[in-house]
């Protein structure tokens, strides 16, 4: 059975790159493949490649339409010209630290430095997976990279940490923006695994649902001018984007801590 739907080859060219490479294909849904990779992920929670396989098996069917609609707009082309490669902007911490105290830029640096992360690190992980796929060069690829490269900004803006629950909440937030079934599947399946492994009554699923609602209310991060947002006070950015407080997430953390569980050591506790 052919599990892929070819994309129209007559897409227009725009600027220095064609808008859509005619060789680009849209993967079909493969839920059993997604389930197998999810089980592998549960066994080795640090194996990021399993996540990419799940995304490929449960794609966002509307992503090509969303990408091309954005890239056909003047605003989309202006952002692409201003921000050709987001990791270069986000990994220049010297430039970000020169921005005002209390800004999104400072909050982002604080988060990434505390976690020992870099934007390039996620790119490197994805490139290992991508190396096994056909290499495409079109403007849609830039859009796809933006979806990847705004992941840690989502953590910073929402207040969801890199603990086990925080990652599920960010995935749900991303589903609210980019409705790939993979985000929803990993977010809720991961939350259920947490509840199953840790017998402490707390609103875990409500926290994930809260993240989903926050993402739906917020404009797509990958379509925003990140350069313009970085110097602004983070509270102002959150207000502009309609991002509220992660109240259920914080309630879960408080409940776990009261029960003697460190939310950031949860993977070991639930293993």
Distance CA 38, CA 107 (A): 31
User: CA 161 to CA 152: how far, in whole Å?
Assistant: 10
Question: What tens digit of pLDDT does each residue of 10-23 get?
Answer: 444 445 789 999 88
- Domain locations in the chain? 28-270
pLDDT classification of 1: cutoffs 50, 70, 90: very low
Mean pLDDT over 256-270 rounds to: 79
Predicted confidence band of residue 26 (pLDDT cuts 50, 70, 90): confident
With 60 as the cut, is the pLDDT of residue 270 above it? Answer: no
138-to-22, 64, 163 alpha-carbon distances in Å: 9, 12, 35
Mean pLDDT of all residues in 212-241:
98
**CA-to-CA distance for 14 and 60, rounded, in angstroms?**
24
Rounded to an integer, the average pLDDT of 96-116 is 98
Could you give the CA distance from residue 86 to residue 136 in angstroms, rounded to a whole number?
19
Distance CA 164, CA 190 (A): 8
Q: Rounded to an integer, what distance in angstroms lies between the CA atom of residue 62 and that of residue 169? A: 22
A 10 A CB-CB count for 126 gives 18
- 250 neighbors 160 (Cβ within 8 angstroms): no
Q: Among candidates 265, 12, 247, which has minimal Cα distance to 138?
A: 12
- Would you say 182 and 168 are in contact if contact means Cβ atoms under 8 Å apart? no
Is 70 exceeded by the pLDDT of residue 8?
no
pLDDT at site 51: 87
Band of the pLDDT at 271, cuts 50, 70, 90?
very low
> What pLDDT is stored for residue 90 in this prediction?
98
What tens digit of pLDDT does each residue of 131-181 get? 566 678 899 999 999 999 999 999 999 999 999 999 999 999 999 999 999
- In sequence order, what are the residues at sequence separation of 6 or more whose Cβ sits closer than 8 angstroms to the Cβ of residue 208? 165, 168, 169, 172, 187, 188, 191
Average pLDDT, the chain: 89
Residue 268 has pLDDT above 70, yes or no: no
Residue 129 has pLDDT above 80, yes or no: no
| Contacting residues for 251 by C-beta, under 8 A, at least 6 apart | 202, 203, 207
Residue 148 in tokens: 């990847």
Q: What pLDDT is stored for residue 10 in this prediction?
A: 42
109 closest CA partner among 88, 87, 94, 124: 94
Reported pTM = 0.88
Highest mean pLDDT among 6-15, 25-34, 73-82, 194-203: 73-82
């Amino acid at each position: 059975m052919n599990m892929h739907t070819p994309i129209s080859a007559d897409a227009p060219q725009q600027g220095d790159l064609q808008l859509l490479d005619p060789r680009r294909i849209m993967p079909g849904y493969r839920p059993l493949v997604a389930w197998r990779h999810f089980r592998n992920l549960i066994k080795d929670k640090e194996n990021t490649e399993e996540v990419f396989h799940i995304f490929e098996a449960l794609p966002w069917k509307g992503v090509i339409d969303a990408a091309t609609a954005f890239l056909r707009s003047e605003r989309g082309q202006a952002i692409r010209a201003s921000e050709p490669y987001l990791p270069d902007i986000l990994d220049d911490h010297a430039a970000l630290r020169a921005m005002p105290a209390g800004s999104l830029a400072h909050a982002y640096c604080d988060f990434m430095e505390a976690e020992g992360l870099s934007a390039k690190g996620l790119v490197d992980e994805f490139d290992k997976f991508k190396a096994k796929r056909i290499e495409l060069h079109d403007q849609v690829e830039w859009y796809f990279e933006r979806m990847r490269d705004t992941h840690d900004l989502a953590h910073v803006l929402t207040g969801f940490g890199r603990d086990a629950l925080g990652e599920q909440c960010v995935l749900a937030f991303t589903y609210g923006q980019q409705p790939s079934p993979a985000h929803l599947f990993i977010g809720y399946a991961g939350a259920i695994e947490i509840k199953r492994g840790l017998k402490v009554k707390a609103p875990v699923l409500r926290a994930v649902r809260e993240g989903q609602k926050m993402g739906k209310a917020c404009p797509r991060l990958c379509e925003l001018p990140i350069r313009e947002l970085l110097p602004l006070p983070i509270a102002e950015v959150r207000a502009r984007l309609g991002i509220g407080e992660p109240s259920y997430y914080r309630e879960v953390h408080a409940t776990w801590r009261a029960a003697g569980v460190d939310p950031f050591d949860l993977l070991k506790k639930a293993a």
